[in-house]
């Protein structure tokens, strides 16, 4: 019986591996094609050249623009593509502070959750082989501190966010917990980057001078607050955390 069971499990496992590989190749192909096709169009320089047309289109079709922006941000973060920081700045400039914070906050969490699910159910073996050395430390910290550990990682990005998304997909953490902790933990950083983008009077400045072109006392103060916020949170948590 055991031999028959092993023989049955072999083809099933092989079919599952082939299905995962097919999904991986399909997602990779779509991601590469989209990046090659639209990557330049999403650059600050290209967007600055079309500013008047973009703003007119937003006024005529607001929900279409918000929906497209949301999906683009989800795709970039969900597929771990480069450009999320630049998109955050551009959305702050284009949508204004409050609307951009809401859009980027929910889109970034949705994208992170998508990466989390892809890691858990599709790319598990690839992620395991690439980041498996970090998995034991993540599991130990989660067993010790629970969701607080993920919250701290989101506030103090000592580990790149895309690595957090992928490795967390291999842990026993529930999707719902991952979603709300990420939503809250990433909000301060999102607000600061959106504020920096909203402070840009002309996107051409960003395209020509880079991030240095948007530095102002207000933006510097926001980044200082972003740096101090995790320390304040740690102090509060240490004060109220029960003694073990």
User: What number is the average pLDDT over the span 13-42?
Assistant: 54
Residue 176 lies in a domain: yes
Residue 215 lies in a domain: yes
Residue 152 lies in a domain: yes
pLDDT at 17 over 60: no
Of 107, 68, 109, 104, the closest CA to residue 198 belongs to: 104
> Is this structure's pTM higher than 0.85?
no
Residue 9 lies in a domain: no
Gyration radius of the chain over CA positions: 21
pLDDT band at 47 (very low <50, low <70, confident <90, very high): low
User: What number is the average pLDDT over the span 87-94?
Assistant: 88
Domain count within the chain = 1
Lowest pLDDT segment from 50-59, 82-91, 146-155: 50-59
How does pLDDT run across 187-222, given as a tens digit for each residue? 988 998 888 878 766 655 555 555 555 566 766 777
Residue 44 lies in a domain: yes
User: What number is the average pLDDT over the span 59-74?
Assistant: 92
User: What number is the average pLDDT over the span 68-95?
Assistant: 89
- Residue 35 CA to residue 79 CA, distance in Å, equals 11
Q: Who wins on pLDDT, 79 or 134?
A: 79
Residue 231 lies in a domain: yes
- Residue 137 CA to residue 8 CA, distance in Å, equals 36
- pLDDT of res. 107: 97
Tell me, what DSSP letter sits at residue 156?
S
Instruction: Give the mean pLDDT of the chain.
Output: 76
Residue 1 lies in a domain: no
CB within 8 A of 232, min separation 6: which ones? none
Of 188, 146, 138, the closest CA to residue 166 belongs to: 138
Q: Who wins on pLDDT, 150 or 200?
A: 150
Residue 95 lies in a domain: yes
- Residue 147 CA to residue 55 CA, distance in Å, equals 41
The boundaries of the domain holding residue 205 are 14-240
């Amino acid at each position: 019986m055991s031999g028959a069971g092993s023989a049955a499990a072999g083809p099933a496992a092989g079919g599952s591996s082939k299905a995962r590989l097919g999904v991986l190749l399909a997602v990779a192909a779509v991601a590469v094609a989209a990046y090659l096709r639209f990557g330049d169009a999403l650059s600050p320089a290209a967007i600055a050249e079309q500013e008047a047309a973009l703003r007119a289109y937003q006024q005529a079709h607001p929900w279409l623009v918000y929906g497209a922006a949301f999906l683009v941000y989800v795709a970039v973060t969900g597929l771990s593509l480069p450009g999320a920081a630049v998109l955050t700045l551009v959305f702050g400039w284009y949508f204004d502070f409050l609307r951009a914070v809401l859009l980027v906050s929910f889109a970034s969490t949705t994208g992170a959750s998508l990466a989390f699910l892809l890691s858990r159910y599709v790319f598990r073996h690839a992620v395991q082989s690439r980041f498996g050395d970090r998995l034991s430390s993540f599991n130990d910290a989660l067993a010790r501190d629970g969701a607080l550990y993920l919250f701290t990682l989101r506030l103090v990005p000592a580990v790149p966010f895309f690595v957090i998304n992928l490795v967390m997909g291999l842990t026993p953490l529930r999707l719902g917990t991952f979603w709300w902790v990420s939503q809250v933990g990433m909000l301060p950083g999102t607000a600061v980057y959106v504020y920096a983008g909203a402070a840009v009077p002309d996107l051409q400045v960003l395209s020509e001078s880079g991030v240095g072109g948007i530095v102002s006392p207000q933006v510097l103060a926001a980044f200082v607050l972003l740096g101090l916020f995790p320390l304040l949170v740690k102090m509060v948590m240490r004060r109220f955390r029960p003694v073990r």
